[in-house]
Amino acid sequence: MTAFIQYLITGIAVGSIYAIVALGFSLVFKATGVFNFAQGSLMMLGAFLAWTATARWGLALVPAIVLTLVISGALGVAMHFVVIRPLMGNTLLTLVMATIALSLIISAMASIIWGSEQRLFPSPIPDHVLIVGGVRISTLDLIVIGVSGVCMLIFGLFFRFTTLGLQMRATAENSEAAVLSGVNSQRVFVVTFAVALMLASIGGILLANISLVSLSLGDIGLLAFPAVVVGGLTSIPGAVVGGILIGVIEQLSAAYISVESQDVIVYVVLLIVLLVRPWGILGEREVVRV
């Protein structure tokens, strides 16, 4: 039982990182209808940027994170103007392919710039082990959970209480109605992409603390898709629930089935959810009018 709780906590820690990445993903999908395949490689990019800022340029953690967020926000704006906006309104395949191409470009550029070796992120977070009632809990996990929780809270408050957040929610809900009520939807899209890329970077930075920084982080970022779908593609809280669930499933299957099967189990869950309840746990059932 204690072992189970330990795996559960690690799962929640990993899952909350997925949740953050998935949150950015789901935000973009809801507001713009773009299925951003590049979210995984953007997460990897965030981790590398933070690593460069701290390990190479010797910045302290806080300025490094701020710098990473600023760069990724700027990249989001650039991505919107250069790639997404000219293709807006095209078919699903076109947009998926555009983001796949972006993801290829980003990973290849990262490989050119940073090479294929694994880097150790100089994590300032102490990695102690607390023992609470026989359960060994890593402080790292707790801090990751705490930081992601705070991030989600900040974004939740931002959506709820700021004008921009309201406009974003309105655009996500019904973009035409939002435009008719005077929302500048182009500006909302720009902000959405900036925020989504910042979320990807935050996920990347957090992940860098618990694993090595390497190109394979992009593949881990792919797990944001199952997270979003399990939670519900059309639901923003669903992304959080789905992310945590996927993290927990992954850790539990690594512990109780086998390590190499952990990702496969996640995809099996994804497949079952897609076949049984395609709209996810919290999503709304899509009704299509012919």
Give me the residues that bind other proteins (CB under 8 A), please: 35, 83, 86-87, 90, 92-94, 96-98, 100-102, 104-105, 107-109, 111-112, 225-226, 229, 233, 260-261, 263-264, 267-268, 270-271, 274-275, 278, 290
Residue 222, φ and ψ in degrees, nearest 5: -60, -25
How far the first Cα of the chain sits from its last, in Å, is 52
Q: How far is the CB of 52 from other proteins (least distance, A)?
A: 18
**DSSP codes, 157-194:** HHHHHSHHHHHHHHHHH-HHHHHHTT--HHHHHHHHHH
CB 273 within 8 A of CB 232: no
Question: Closer to other proteins at the Cβ: 44 or 98?
Answer: 98
Q: How far is the CB of 212 from other proteins (least distance, A)?
A: 20
Q: How far is the CB of 266 from other proteins (least distance, A)?
A: 9
Q: How far is the CB of 28 from other proteins (least distance, A)?
A: 13
Q: How far is the CB of 261 from other proteins (least distance, A)?
A: 7
CB 198 within 8 A of CB 50: no
Q: How far is the CB of 262 from other proteins (least distance, A)?
A: 11
Measured distance CA(45)–CA(53) in Å, rounded? 12
Question: Closer to other proteins at the Cβ: 202 or 246?
Answer: 246
Helices (H), 211-288: 217-221, 224-231, 236-256, 262-276
Question: Closer to other proteins at the Cβ: 62 or 275?
Answer: 275
Measured distance CA(249)–CA(53) in Å, rounded? 33
Structure-block tokens of residue 15: 């899952």
Residue 274, φ and ψ in degrees, nearest 5: -65, -35
Question: Closer to other proteins at the Cβ: 83 or 143?
Answer: 83
Question: Closer to other proteins at the Cβ: 95 or 210?
Answer: 95
Question: Closer to other proteins at the Cβ: 10 or 36?
Answer: 36
Measured distance CA(44)–CA(53) in Å, rounded? 14
- DSSP conformation class of 119: B
Strands 135-138 and 129-132 turn out to be antiparallel
Q: How far is the CB of 144 from other proteins (least distance, A)?
A: 25
Distances in Å between the Cα of 280 and the Cα atoms of 21, 56, 200, 271, 289 are 17, 42, 22, 11, 20
Question: Closer to other proteins at the Cβ: 3 or 108?
Answer: 108
